[in-house]
């Protein structure tokens, strides 16, 4: 609690200084002293922390009885004590007008503003708080509180992120993030951020973005094989337009909703962080990312990014089985799966491939002879596969009948 005294009343000054006797403190706590409203409130707020529990309880009771309009009048005064403004900020059931007055007051302690930004459910109040750029620069905890509050408006979020990026994150940079990650033993993430371009379409990547993405990196550079990246793919690594990036991110979200139903806010947030990276960074992330990241990037409309996921050394047969059935995945990915001898030993994988209308016809033709008779018959009647696959499945069924 701030100890700055605003009252000129000797009794209030003695109470705050700790020199007032217990009877005088109790009289003040009960509101029995003839004090102006501002002085009374200042004394009561101080007495909330009195060593005598009865005095502290009496002060709380007297404060609870104060009319809301009286509290607002005190808050609007330029001479209000910081401790009083801090107390007003802590009142969760107060009016929005009182909290807005406290947020705009120059004497309100920074930690009280951070508390207010963390607890309020009024987006307009968060916008008001972010208008005071000097305060946010002085106390980064307020920025964190605004960005963590679900009630924040897009405008409040934009201001907070801009200030954080301008005054805090540019000094750190990707190299410092990489050093911190390496010190924590996360070499895979450190390697990524040392080489990453980190230039998403919507602006500079924040430190929070970097730390969240770092949790989804698990493969070290020494375990990566990029020999698959042929020359004809280089053109797909060129810079995308903002429109292409936004469309790509939205298509991934739509595809996830079609497959899994409702998609959590956290999942959508991760999708956007990944999709708004550069193509080269997404390729690297596909090669190094964990299962959750792979599940997102495999849907990337850029075939090089999706292909990188297939070459991730941690990808499992269960993931490949699921990918083989996806109708939003690149044909190149399905072709590569069909050429992999280890994966095509799995009947579930090849069965998913031939049932997927996006599987290249040549790949499906190579697999069909290995499909069991009952499944071939189902394929020959399946209107969701291509006409050519249905015909070939029908021919094979007839051939096996003799």
Per-residue model confidence as pLDDT tens digits over 318-367: 999 999 999 989 999 999 999 999 999 999 999 999 999 999 999 999 99
> What number is the average pLDDT over the span 3-26?
86
**Are 300 and 327 in contact, with CB atoms under 8 Å apart?**
no
Confidence of residue 206 (pLDDT cuts 50, 70, 90): low
* Percentage of the residues of the chain whose pLDDT score is greater than 90: 57
Main-chain phi, psi angles of 123, to 5 degrees: -60, -35
| Top-confidence residue, 37 or 166 | 37
Q: Give the Cα separation of 363 and 388 in Å (integer).
A: 12
**DSSP state string for 292-356:** HHHHHHTT-SSHHHHHHHHT-TT--HHHHHHHTT-SSS-HHHHHHHHH-TTGGG-HHHHHHHHH-
| Top-confidence residue, 205 or 282 | 282
Tokens of 385: 């596969």
| Top-confidence residue, 165 or 126 | 126
Lowest mean pLDDT among 137-141, 256-260, 276-280: 256-260
Q: How much is the pLDDT for 264? A: 85
Confidence of residue 204 (pLDDT cuts 50, 70, 90): low
In the predicted structure, residue 129 carries a pLDDT above the cut 60:
yes
DSSP letter (8 states) at residue 277: S
Confidence of residue 216 (pLDDT cuts 50, 70, 90): very high
Q: Give the Cα separation of 14 and 10 in Å (integer).
A: 6
Q: Give the Cα separation of 65 and 209 in Å (integer).
A: 46
> What number is the average pLDDT over the span 1-16?
79
Q: Give the Cα separation of 28 and 373 in Å (integer).
A: 92
Q: How much is the pLDDT for 245? A: 87
| Closest by Cα among 216, 211, 227 to 188 | 216
Query: How wide is the angle at C-alpha 126 spanned by C-alphas 124 and 128, nearest 5°?
Result: 70
| Closest by Cα among 317, 358, 369, 367 to 334 | 358
> What number is the average pLDDT over the span 236-240?
71
In the predicted structure, residue 259 carries a pLDDT above the cut 80:
no
Confidence of residue 236 (pLDDT cuts 50, 70, 90): low
User: Quick count: other Cβ atoms within 10 Å of Cβ 333?
Assistant: 24
| Top-confidence residue, 197 or 89 | 89
Q: How much is the pLDDT for 3? A: 61
Per residue in 55-110, pLDDT (tens digit) is 999 999 999 999 999 999 999 999 999 999 999 999 988 889 999 999 999 999 99
User: Whole-number mean pLDDT of the chain?
Assistant: 88
Q: How much is the pLDDT for 314? A: 95
Give me the residue spans of the domains in the chain.
10-162, 198-315, 329-402
Which residue has tokens 């924590």? Answer: 184
In the predicted structure, residue 180 carries a pLDDT above the cut 60:
yes
Per residue in 144-177, pLDDT (tens digit) is 999 999 999 999 999 998 888 777 665 456 677 7
> What number is the average pLDDT over the span 247-255?
90
Per residue in 284-324, pLDDT (tens digit) is 999 999 999 999 999 999 989 999 999 999 999 999 999 99
Q: How much is the pLDDT for 120? A: 94
Q: How much is the pLDDT for 68? A: 92
Confidence of residue 201 (pLDDT cuts 50, 70, 90): very low
> What number is the average pLDDT over the span 113-131?
94
């Amino acid at each position: 609690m701030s100890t700055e005294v605003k009252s000129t009343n000797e009794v209030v000054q003695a109470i705050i200084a700790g020199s007032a006797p217990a009877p005088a403190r109790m009289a003040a706590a009960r509101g029995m002293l003839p004090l102006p409203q501002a002085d009374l409130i200042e004394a009561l707020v101080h007495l909330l922390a009195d060593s005598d529990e009865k005095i502290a309880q009496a002060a709380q009771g007297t404060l609870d009885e104060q009319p809301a309009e009286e509290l607002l009048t005190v808050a609007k005064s330029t001479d209000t004590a910081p401790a009083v403004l801090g107390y007003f900020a802590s009142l969760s059931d107060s009016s929005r007008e009182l909290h807005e007055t406290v947020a705009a007051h120059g004497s309100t302690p920074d930690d009280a503003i951070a508390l207010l930004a963390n607890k309020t459910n009024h987006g307009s109040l968060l916008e008001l708080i972010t208008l005071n750029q000097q305060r946010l620069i002085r106390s980064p905890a307020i920025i964190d509180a605004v960005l963590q509050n679900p009630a924040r408006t897009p405008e409040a979020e934009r201001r907070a992120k801009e200030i954080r990026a301008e005054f805090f994150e540019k000094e750190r940079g990707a190299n410092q993030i990489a050093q911190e990650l390496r010190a924590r033993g996360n070499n895979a993430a450190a390697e990524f951020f040392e080489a990453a371009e980190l230039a998403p379409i919507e602006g500079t990547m924040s430190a929070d973005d970097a730390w969240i993405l770092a949790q989804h990196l698990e493969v070290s550079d020494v375990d990566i094989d990029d020999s698959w990246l042929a020359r004809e793919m280089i053109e797909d690594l060129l810079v995308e337009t903002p429109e292409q990036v936004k469309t790509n991110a939205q298509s991934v979200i739509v595809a996830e909703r079609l497959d899994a139903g409702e998609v959590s806010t956290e999942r959508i947030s991760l999708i956007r962080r990944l999709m708004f990276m550069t193509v080269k960074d997404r390729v690297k992330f596909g090669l190094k990312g964990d299962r959750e990241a792979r599940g997102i990037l495999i849907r990337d409309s850029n075939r090089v990014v999706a292909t990188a996921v297939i070459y991730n050394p941690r990808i499992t047969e269960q993931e490949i089985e699921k990918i083989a059935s996806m109708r939003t995945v690149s044909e190149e990915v399905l072709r590569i799966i069909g050429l992999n001898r280890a994966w095509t030993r799995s009947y579930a994988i090849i069965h998913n491939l031939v049932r997927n209308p996006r599987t290249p016809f040549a790949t499906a033709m190579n697999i069909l002879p290995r499909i069991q008779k009952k499944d071939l018959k189902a394929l020959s009647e399946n209107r969701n596969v291509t006409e050519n696959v249905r015909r070939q499945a029908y021919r094979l069924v007839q051939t096996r009948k003799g």
